[in-house]
Chains A and B, each alone.
Chain A
């Protein structure tokens, strides 16, 4: 078992013939993900990698293949349109990998997506991976292993670093979810914590946050009030200067709000075990599972 994606996932890849889209589709196919369709306007009728039919629109792909999940690898200026198209076509889970989506586009897009009850993950995220069953996005499959730790993160390579420690030490994962580093994202820490709490195959949750915003603070309060499973947390950016955007558009300390200290304090107050270093994840997860 896992959250959000599993063997029932029927994936359509938006931007499948592009450089990023084709590269990662090959990796998803190799991992065993059920990629049922691709979309590139103007390339409908083609076949990708000898087996995945390509359509002009998501609606055509859904009609022909019953796709229920979409992953987006289109350029930043087209990403919001791709999300809206997927929501309009009846896709229930949309994962937007694209980085650099204008926030003004996202504010309108989120309202549309929410009103239709569609789940969006991202943008600017590595996607998600349920080890042994399905991979949607760009998380390297070889560093993950099936198991009972759920992981949620705002980052990409930091996630890999932590997952790698877990896997090497025999702590497999139920699902790894990258929610993205932008200021406006479709799925928050709270959404993922709730899903892991409900997942019978997740025993402990690792939450990797960073400076900027209040999502971690709210997640900590939510965890204290609603979770019975142990949570282990990390906050990146303790040495980040104020007012500077640290790579991720959302990783910025505005005024005195969104600092690593206030987030770590919120974690502690909620009974979340705080990692000081990525490697600490192993001992802390073990301690909390005892």
Chain B
């Protein structure tokens, strides 16, 4: 789960990371009031959306006066960036910048540890630096049982600054960032840029934090930071129903049990010339309610021209899925054709249930995918 910049700032601030005071606004009035409260000088208005390239899209603007802050906010609020509507803006004082560094922390799959990445080439996309000038990035894997050790933090900071006062300040900030990372079950925490001002002060000007989704069950405080307005409504509905759902642009709706099989099913739709409308994993348990919710969510997408069920019964009982399909069709009329492939646990019973209401079930995945692609193409 990605946090907004203003939320990431709150976590960093709580850990003691030095930052400029700022606040978040949902209306131009509020933005103007914040700009006044911050002293009436030049501020930056930053769109709070989960999308990179905010600046290029016009979502970051400099405002010299509180009135200008109001005008810019009026333009940015409601603007669409990469399909997402801006609902909030962050208002922070504009800083005089002498230098920009990058300090980031990721959960690294390769070393299986938290890994620091720091670079004196900050303020730009770090992936670009990693691709074009990897020698400019210093990496350090941390033993999570000991945390970031003082000499490690100093070593990293020494790659960023010539003056020891700044080295010390940066090392302290790295320790604080590490605390934010581990204390909140983050998969990423970064400060970009970590800036110095002309008087030599080191401070964080932008912050980004992503939380491991697996952390949210035991951390309601973090789960409460989720901004559902920043997601597709169908994805919010799916999560509430306990389904994993990702909306795509195609017209073949897919209901599958298991993430790997769900991906392979989407790929097979493409292989046979179709385009999947979604990723949807109903999971291992085969509660008929999940099937009903899955169908409801998929059929709410007007692009969907045909629906494919692909169920390999292991723990999932195929008769439960069949019962869910029958129950769903009783609750609401399906406007699009449906192709059902099921095999495995209790498959004979499942086929009997479906035949009882005049539905067919196929046994072969390829045959089912070919059928559903043909139906979707005929309807398009």
Contacts and interface: CB of A to CB of B under 8 A. Distances in A.
A159 B269 CA distance: 19
Interface in A233-270: 234, 236-241, 244-251, 255-256, 260
Given A103-B185, A236-B267, A246-B246, A157 B261 contact: yes
B314 A156 contact: yes
Given A184-B112, A239-B276, A251 B268 contact: no
Contacts of A256: 127
Interface stretch (B14-22, B54-62, B211-219, B288-296): B211-219
B314 A140 contact: yes
A239 to B, nearest CB: 5
Most A-side CB within 10 Å, residue of B260, B261, B314, B345: B260
A214 interface: yes
A77 B217 contact: yes
B260 A277 contact: no
A213 B109 contact: yes
B109 A155 contact: no
Given A100-B217, A138-B314, A239 B270 contact: yes
A208 interface: yes
B108 to A, nearest CB: 9
Given A111-B144, A278-B365, A241 B246 contact: yes
B187 interface: yes
A107 interface: yes
B315 interface: yes
Chain A interface residue bracket vs B: 35 or more
Contacts of B244: 247
A31 interface: no
B214 A155 contact: no
A160 B264 CA distance: 12
Contacts of A241: 246, 248
A89 interface: no
B312 to A, nearest CB: 5
A246 B213 CA distance: 12
Interface string B274-311: 00100101001000000000000000000000000000
A77 B267 CA distance: 33
B117 to A, nearest CB: 13
B266 A248 contact: no
A102 interface: yes
A17 interface: no
Interface in A103-117: 103-104, 106-108, 110-112
A154 interface: yes
Contact of B281 (A110, A138, A160, A247): A247
B366 interface: yes
A23 B315 CA distance: 10
A143 B187 CA distance: 37
Given A76-B217, A102-B185, A102-B214, A278 B264 contact: yes
B344 interface: yes
A181 interface: yes
A143 B347 CA distance: 13
Given A77-B217, A213-B109, A239-B267, A164 B343 contact: yes
Question: Which of A23, A104, A260: most chain B Cβ within 10 A?
Answer: A104
Interface in B190-216: 212-215
Nearest to B364: A279
A256 B125 CA distance: 13
Contacts of A157: 256-258, 260-261, 312, 314, 316
A277 B271 contact: yes
Contact of A250 (B109, B256, B269): B109
Given A184-B107, A247-B279, A250-B109, A158 B264 contact: yes
A261 to B, nearest CB: 12
B75 interface: no
Interface in B315-339: 315-316
A140 B264 contact: no
Interface in B138-152: 143-145
Contacts of A158: 258, 260-261, 263-264
Contact of B315 (A138, A211, A213, A239): A138
B264 A139 contact: no
A215 B112 CA distance: 12
B259 interface: yes
Contact of B107 (A23, A107, A238, A260): A107
Given A101-B214, A140-B345, A250-B109, A107 B261 contact: no
Contacts of B248: 239, 241
B112 to A, nearest CB: 5
A260 to B, nearest CB: 8
Given A103-B187, A110-B112, A140 B344 contact: yes
A203 interface: no
A111 B263 contact: no
Contacts of A211: 263
Contact of B264 (A102, A126, A138, A236): A236
A240 B268 CA distance: 12
Nearest to B281: A247
A153 interface: yes
Given A102-B214, A247-B244, A277 B366 contact: yes
A103 B113 CA distance: 10
B266 A239 contact: yes
A181 B342 CA distance: 23
A93 B161 CA distance: 47
B114 interface: yes
Closest 4 CB pairs of A and B: A155-B260, A247-B259, A157-B258, A158-B260
Given A236-B264, A239-B263, 6 more contacts: A103-B185, A143-B344, A183-B109, A214-B110, A241-B248, A246-B246
8 contacts: A107-B113, A143-B344, A160-B344, A213-B110, A234-B264, A239-B269, A278-B264, A278-B365
Interface of B: 107, 109-110, 112-114, 127, 143-145, 182, 185, 187, 212-215, 217-218, 244, 246, 248, 256-264, 266-271, 276, 279, 281, 284, 312, 314-316, 343-345, 365-366
